[in-house]
Chain A
Amino acid sequence: MRLSVRRPGALALMAALAFVLRGGVAHAQDSSLTVRIGLTYAPGTKPGVLVLPVNGDNGDSIRAILQRDFDHGDRVNVIAGESIVMDTTADGSRGQYNYPLYARLGAAAMVQVTATGNGLHVAVHDVRTQRVERVKDFVIAGAPLSPDWRQQVHAMSDAIEFWLTGVRGIAASRILYSSGGRIFQIDSDGANVVALTSNSPPAFYPAWHPRATRIAYAVMTDDGMRIMLRDLNGEGNGTRPLVSRVPAGSMNNAPTFSPDGETVLYANGLENGTDIFAASAAANEPPRRVTVSRGFISVSPAYSPDGRRIVYASDKAGGLALYVADADGTNAEALTPFNYGDRTQRSDPSWSPDGRFIAFQAEIDGGVQIYTVRPGDRAAPRQYTNEGRNEDPSWSPDSRHLVFTSNRSGSMQLWVLDVESARVRQLTHAASGAKAGAWSPRLVSY
């Protein structure tokens, strides 16, 4: 739901906030810089946001979730407000707030959450003007602290972040990954790990449907790898193969849905090479060949957000390189420069939801790092990691964060990267390691 501008008079401040959000980084990823409320803070910094203690039985949990969501969004600076807890001069229930203290702590905005009968009431204060800029009642259903309840609180965080920055947060999302041959999902803040597949057959390479109602993944059998579709919300027919008649011994991996959810691209390897194929996600129809590699390998397909283009990796010219083509496979052209004899392996591309960037992994001099490149731009790719092995990037819904696999903690785990600040945080701590992260779209939106 889009929110209207509450104070048109604050437009003068929007430019300043926009400047801050860009932060002078090499390439800002935000496509929308519309500000819904005006905040005053020093240019070049992220606005400080303070969350007051929340009343009620789960107040501490709600406050912790909001603070963590704001922190993970990387667009605001969460003020550690423990001194606020001890501030006896502030009594929000009587409209008493210690704005000077909030200002000294560096807060440009203060968020006040109050438990109501069926949810939470949120008020956002401009600390400088000492005025309430935005209020809203959120209906939060379900058992407190349950996964659904947490998603609704995350969605509330995302809405508040939208008021503060003009960009909706990404807290109300989940990440799929494979661990020990099983598919799991995890909330974007690292909570609520749920196994979606059993131990057998081993499952890999999960992918979200654009409406997050189903997933696709590959299973490994002694007769080859198969693509499976699974409904998450009880719709359709549960779990089924994407293609019913698959040649024995064929390798099928790396499924990805088209933006309209109707088609699944995947790699199919037979005895004469591996190519990209497209199959209907709804009807069990014969798949259609997209690439013709003639004995070479083409893998790791990904759609552009408008569904008109695809990107994939192929070794048809020597080293594994990235190619962009029309969705039917025609008009393919190299995305990254290739020099004869170049042994650099570039693979696992992921097209950002705003369409501006393609992230990928590149193996250079024995290391594997995460890069981004602008499609259609001949500029050199930008490197984001340099520690350990870093693989399988997947964009967040806000096109600002990447989830990727890294061994920098000693085992392969999922990490989240803010491509504007290069800040990283560890998402998973799976005993069997975690790979092939896939970020969902926003699951709940207020």
Chain B
Amino acid sequence: MRSIHRGIALALIAGIGMSACKKKPETVVPPPNNPPPPPAETCDAACRQRRADSIAAANAERDRLAREAAERERLAAADRAKNALLATIYFDYDASDIRGDARSALDQKLPILRANSGLQIRISGHADERGSDQYNDALGQRRAASTKRYLTDNGIDAARISIVSYGEQKPAMTGSDENAWARNRRAEFEITAGSVAPPQ
């Protein structure tokens, strides 16, 4: 008898245990009959126009910024071209030969001059303080002429280039040492007509 009861109890325990381990069935929430309504549509025609305008304005602003960026780049390129055109070149003592570094600088000016046919420039020749003032005037003239000749030999119309000598009268750097002298033995460039656009 006791064993029957024990068996029933075990069976109950086992049943309870099994029922405790059994997965609870999922609760299915029935979908609503109608989706929630969107925010209340308060935009009338005027509103829609404003929205369109806003979109258009944003597009315009985007275009403007793009144009400005392009313009900035164009101007920057023009500035770079102008700086290259106006870059000073330097000479050795008592010499008017075009040095290697000066040749590179002049070569950068050539496409700018070719791309801007309305551009006219003036080349001024300078000398350091050493030597006779009168000779230095002539040396500055020779340096300016030598510089012009390099450009014209490379296809630039001579009529677009004028020259002048300032001798030692307009030093770029004051001083009586080699550093100052080297800075003063130079040819400078100035635009006398037209403007610089960047090369295409």
Measured CA separation A343–B95 after assembly (Å): 12
State how many angstroms separate the Cβ of A254 from the closest Cβ of chain B.
5
- Docked-complex contact B122 and A222, CB < 8 angstroms: yes
The A-B contact count (CB < 8 A) is: 92
Bitwise interface map of A from 176 to 204 toward B, beta carbon under 8 Å scored 1, else 0: 00000100000000000000000000101
Instruction: Report chain B residues within 8 Å CB of A320.
Output: 131-132, 135
* B62 beta carbon closer than 8 Å to chain A: no
The CA-CA distance from A436 to B136 in the complex, in Å, is 14
Smallest CB gap from A407: residue in B: B176
Q: Is the CB of A251 within 8 A of B131?
A: no
Interface contact A274-B133, CB-CB below 8 Å: no
Known: A297-B135, A313-B135. A274 touches B169 (CB 8 A): no
Q: A272-B145, A297-B142 are in contact. Are A347 and B131 (CB under 8 A)?
A: yes
- Given contact pairs A251-B141, A348-B132, A391-B132, A271 touches B164 in the complex (Cβ within 8 A): no
Residues of A272-323 contacting chain B, CB below 8 A: 272-274, 297, 299-300, 313, 315, 320
**For chain B, which range describes its interface: under 10, 10 to 19, 20 to 34, or 35 or more residues?**
20 to 34
**Does B138 sit at the interface, judged by CB under 8 A?**
yes
In A258-272, the 8 Å CB interface with B consists of 267, 269-272
Interchain CA distance A290-B165 in the complex, whole Å:
22
**Does chain A have a CB within 8 A of B149?**
yes
Whether A297 lies near B139 (C-beta < 8 A) is yes
Q: Which of the residues A202, A223, A249, A436 comes within 8 Å of B133, measured between beta carbons? A: A436
Using known A-B contacts A202-B169, A225-B165, determine if residue A269 contacts B134 with beta carbons closer than 8 Å: no
Measured CA separation A217–B172 after assembly (Å): 25
Main secondary structure of the interface of A (DSSP, over half): strand
Interchain CB contact under 8 A, B132 and A249? no
**A269-B138 contact given A204-B133, A222-B164, A348-B132, CB 8 Å threshold:** yes
Assembly CA distance A320 to B145 (angstroms) = 19
Residues of chain B within 8 A (CB-CB) of A347 are 131-132, 134-135
Measured CA separation A223–B162 after assembly (Å): 8
Interface size class of A (residues with CB under 8 A): 35 or more
Which residues B99-146 have CB closer than 8 A to chain A? 122, 130-135, 137-142, 144-145
Known: A251-B141, A274-B142. A269 touches B135 (CB 8 A): no
Q: For B130, list chain A residues within 8 Å (CB).
A: 363, 368
Chain B CB within 8 A of A112 CB = no
A45 within 8 A of B: no
A269-B141, A297-B139 known; A223+B164 contact, CB < 8 A: yes
> B140 — which chain A residues lie within 8 A by C-beta?
251
Chain A residues near B162: list those with CB within 8 A. Answer: 223, 248-249
Per-position 1/0 for B164-185, Cβ under 8 A of A: 1110010000000000000000
Cα of A274 to Cα of B162 in the assembled complex, Å: 17
- Contacts A249-B163, A253-B137, A297-B139 given; indicate if A271 touches B132 (C-beta within 8 A): no
Least CB distance from A314 to B in Å reads 10
Shortest Cβ gap from B87 to chain A (Å): 20
CB-based contact B132/A361 at 8 Å: yes
Report the Cα distance A204→B141, complex, angstroms.
Answer: 16
At the interface, yes or no: B186 with Cβ under 8 Å from chain A? no
Chain B neighbourhood of A271, CB < 8 A: 141, 145, 148-149, 163
Please report which residues of chain B, range 1-59, place their CB below 8 angstroms from some CB of chain A when the two chains form the complex. Answer: none
Return B95 CB to nearest CB of chain A, in Å: 11
Q: Chain B residue with minimal CB distance to A181?
A: B169
In the complex, are the beta carbons of B164 and A224 less than 8 A apart? yes
Asked if A102 lies at the interface with its beta carbon under 8 angstroms from chain B, I say no
Q: Is the CB of B135 within 8 A of A251?
A: no
Instruction: Confirm or deny: A84 has a beta carbon within 8 angstroms of a beta carbon on chain B.
Output: no
Interface membership of A345, Cβ < 8 A: yes
Q: Is the CB of A253 within 8 A of B134?
A: yes
Bound: A143/B142 CA distance, A: 52
Contact check, A224 vs B165: say whether CB atoms are below 8 A apart: yes
Chain A residues with CB under 8 A of B163: 249, 271
Interface status of A72 (Cβ within 8 A of chain B): no
Give the CA-CA distance A282 to B110 in the complex, in Å.
Answer: 46
Residues of B within 8 A of A249 (CB): 122, 144, 162-164
Interface residues of B in 61-118 (CB under 8 A from A): 94
- A205 within 8 Å of B (CB atoms): yes
Q: Of residues A225, A248, A271, A368, which shows the largest number of chain B Cβ atoms within 10 Å of its Cβ?
A: A271
**B-to-A contact residues, CB < 8 Å:** 94, 122, 130-135, 137-142, 144-145, 148-149, 162-166, 169
10 pairs across A/B with beta carbons < 8 Å? A204-B133, A224-B165, A249-B162, A249-B164, A253-B137, A267-B138, A299-B134, A313-B132, A315-B135, A368-B130
Query: Residues on A close to B: CB < 8 A?
Result: 181, 202, 204-205, 220, 222-225, 248-251, 253-254, 267, 269-274, 297, 299-300, 313, 315, 320, 343, 345, 347-348, 361, 363, 368, 391-392, 435-436
| 13 extra A-B contacts, CB within 8 A, seeds A297-B138, A345-B94 | A202-B169, A204-B169, A220-B169, A249-B144, A253-B138, A270-B141, A271-B141, A273-B142, A297-B135, A313-B135, A345-B132, A361-B132, A436-B133
